[in-house]
Amino acid sequence: MRRKFPIFDGHQDIAFHLSYFRRDFVAPEIPCMITLPGLKKGNIKFILNTIFVHPKLRPEKTVENANLQFQVYEDIYTEFGSEIMKIEDKKDLDTAINDNKIGFITLMEGADPIEQPDDLYKYYNKGLRVLGLAWNNKNEYASGPATKDGLSEKGKEIIQIMNELNITLDLSHLNEKCFWQSLESYNHTPLATHSNVRKLTDHPRNLYDEQLKEISKRGGVIGIVLYNNFLKTTDDRPTLEDIYKHIDYMLNLCGEDHVGIGSDLDGAEIKDFPKEIRTIANLQKIPEYLSKKGYSDDLVKKISHDNFLRVIRYNLN
């Protein structure tokens, strides 16, 4: 019988897609890439589940939509509480493991819903534990790759509150200037939840070697993202081999404790992901492929699960 590795997925836009596209969380997997049956079939143990407000809803409905997405997750915890639980502290991590439940750790992708830095306390009380300051564009706090601006004063202030609350910093969408400025004042272990190697695929959402090494130097983890354009620049659709190339490059550059998986499935259409990845259950194909490439079971498990879990456990209260 083929072994199923545990998977910690560092990036899934679950609430956005359930609410924005009115998808059914327990429906058959296609056309939804992420469903509860798929999570169980894929042996997904933990997820950084996002709060992501679509640009079409900003700024008028930013806060309203963020609160709606928080409620989507609360409804999931209520309806599917025997299988999924909210993670807010180290004790919750252990409970999820011991009770064999899927653990959701909430990540806000872009701080746009946080109208003032002090509002972060309110979102922390709702369960927010990981924060990426910007998405692709500029907001009140920071800038994504669409601009070259640095951190604002509000951005510096919110990082101090993140330090106080032990909120994990997600560096993935920040432009290069904000990446380095954020790390100047952030005191905990950072993540890049869904980013690839800029040297292999020259896309502004990917990270340069110096950035990858800085994350690993601080004990952090980079999650390989499966979006086609971040895996290769040619027109032909990526395969598991392309995913492997980014993983292997990062392993050689950063070490085996600093690479994970941040799929971003449902962040686009099925055609925008590698041929072999059609649903969340297909994430099992990645550790299987790494095993075929000669990686030991211990190394594969670090990449698929343990590395992200280590950082989240370290940062949580």
pLDDT (tens digit, 9 = 90+) per residue, 276-292? 998 899 999 999 999 99
Tokens matching residue 170 = 């997600």
As a whole number, the mean pLDDT across the chain is 94
CA atoms within a 13 Å half-sphere pointing along the CA-CB vector of 189: 20
- Structural domains of the chain, ranges and CATH numbers in brackets: 7-315 (3.20.20.140)
CA 8 – CA 181 distance, rounded (Å) = 28
**pTM for the model:** 0.96
Terminus-to-terminus CA distance in the chain, angstroms? 39
How far is Cα of residue 58 from the mean position of the Cα atoms in its chain? 22
Nearest to 227 by CA among 248, 249, 252, 246: 246
Q: What is the pLDDT of residues 187-240, one digit of tens each?
A: 999 999 999 999 999 999 999 999 999 999 999 999 999 999 999 988 889 999
DSSP string, the chain: ------EEEEEE-HHHHHHHS---TTS-TTT-S--HHHHHHTTEEEEEEEE---GGGTTTTHHHHHHHHHHHHHHHHHHTTTTEEE--SHHHHHHHHHTT-EEEEEEEESSTT-SSTTHHHHHHHHTEEEEES-SSSB-SS-B-TT------HHHHHHHHHHHHHTPEEB-TT--HHHHHHHHHH--S--EETT--BTTTS--TTSB-HHHHHHHHHTT-EEEEP--HHHH-SSSSPP-HHHHHHHHHHHHHHH-TTSEEE---BTSS-GGGS-TT-SSGGGGGHHHHHHHHTT--HHHHHIIIIIHHHHHHHHH--
CA 87 – CA 92 distance, rounded (Å) = 5
Choice between 304 and 17, residue whose per-residue pLDDT is larger: 304
Q: What is the pLDDT of residues 167-193, one digit of tens each?
A: 999 999 999 999 999 999 999 999 999
CA 155 – CA 162 distance, rounded (Å) = 11
Q: What is the pLDDT of residues 31-68, one digit of tens each?
A: 567 889 999 999 999 999 999 998 888 788 999 999 99
Amino acid at 258: H
Q: What percent of the chain has pLDDT over 70?
A: 96
With beta carbons less than 8 A apart as the criterion, state whether 224 and 262 touch. Answer: yes
Q: Looking at the predicted structure, is the pLDDT value of residue 24 above 80?
A: no
Nearest to 121 by CA among 91, 147, 160: 160
